[in-house]
């Protein structure tokens, strides 16, 4: 089941989707981002990094402690040379950077976000929950 486009109006350079909190939707969100990046002509390493960042943010949102039936919302925005990725969920619990040990099976996602994003943060969500965002500054493209 693909995510559904959010009906609220967004700027021409932004798109948003809602997904049920089910693991297969992590991949669907990545696919939606890849399609959008192709439309924006964002390619190469920066596109791969954006997809990895989104994957980590969506995975965290899927694992957030919320009431059953809550969905997550992903939003991609290209503004000038900045690509912003947002993932909103219904949990008020803020993500924390952890130092995962070699035997830990989780706890590295936010460290990846911290290392790869040019900036990231957490903002309260209107109503209930939070939005975790990450941004990348796109490199200058040499003119032909």
Three-class HEC string of 43-100: CHHHHHHHHHHHHHHHHHHHHCCCCCCCEEEEEEEEECCEEEEEEEECCCCCCCCCCC
Question: At CB < 8 A and 24+ separation, what contacts does 41-49 make?
Answer: 42/78, 42/83, 42/138, 46/83, 46/136, 46/138, 46/139, 49/116, 49/136
Burial of 50 (0-12, 13-18, 19+ CB in 10 A): buried
Given a cut of 60, whether residue 104 has pLDDT beyond it is no
118 has a pLDDT exceeding 90: yes
Look up the pTM and report it.
Answer: 0.83
**CB contact set of 11 (below 8 Å; sequence gap of 6+):** 77
> Mean pLDDT lowest for which of 29-33, 87-91, 126-130, 137-141?
137-141
Q: Which has more pLDDT, 143 or 115?
A: 115
Cα–Cα distance for residue pair 101/103, rounded to 1 Å: 5
Residue 63 in tokens: 């694992």
83: nearest Cα among 44, 124, 50 = 50
pLDDT score of 16: 95
Instruction: Give the pLDDT confidence of 10-26 residue by residue, as tens digits.
Output: 445 999 999 988 888 99
Q: Name the residue with tokens 């070699």.
A: 102
pLDDT attached to residue 6:
40
Question: Is the pLDDT at 107 greater than 80, yes or no?
Answer: no
* DSSP bridge pairs for 88: 73, 131
84, 100 Cβ separation under 8 angstroms: no
Interval 40-62: pLDDT, tens: 999 999 999 999 999 999 998 98
What's the CA gap between 125 and 142, in Å, rounded? 38
Domains of the chain in sequence order = 4-137 (3.30.565.10)
Residues above pLDDT 70, as percent of the chain: 81
């Amino acid at each position: 089941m693909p995510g559904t486009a959010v009906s609220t109006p967004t700027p021409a350079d932004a798109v948003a989707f809602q997904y049920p909190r089910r693991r297969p939707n992590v991949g669907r969100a990545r696919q939606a981002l890849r399609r959008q990046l192709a439309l924006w002509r964002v390619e190469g390493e920066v596109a791969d990094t954006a997809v990895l960042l989104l994957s980590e943010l969506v995975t965290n949102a899927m694992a957030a402690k919320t009431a059953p039936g809550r969905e997550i919302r992903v939003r991609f925005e290209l503004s000038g040379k900045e690509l912003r990725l947002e993932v909103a969920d219904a949990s008020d619990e803020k993500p924390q950077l952890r130092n995962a040990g070699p035997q830990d099976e989780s706890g590295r996602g936010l460290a990846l976000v911290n290392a790869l994003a040019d900036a990231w943060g957490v903002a309260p969500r209107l109503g209930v929950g939070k939005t975790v965002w990450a941004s990348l500054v796109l490199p200058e493209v040499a003119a032909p």
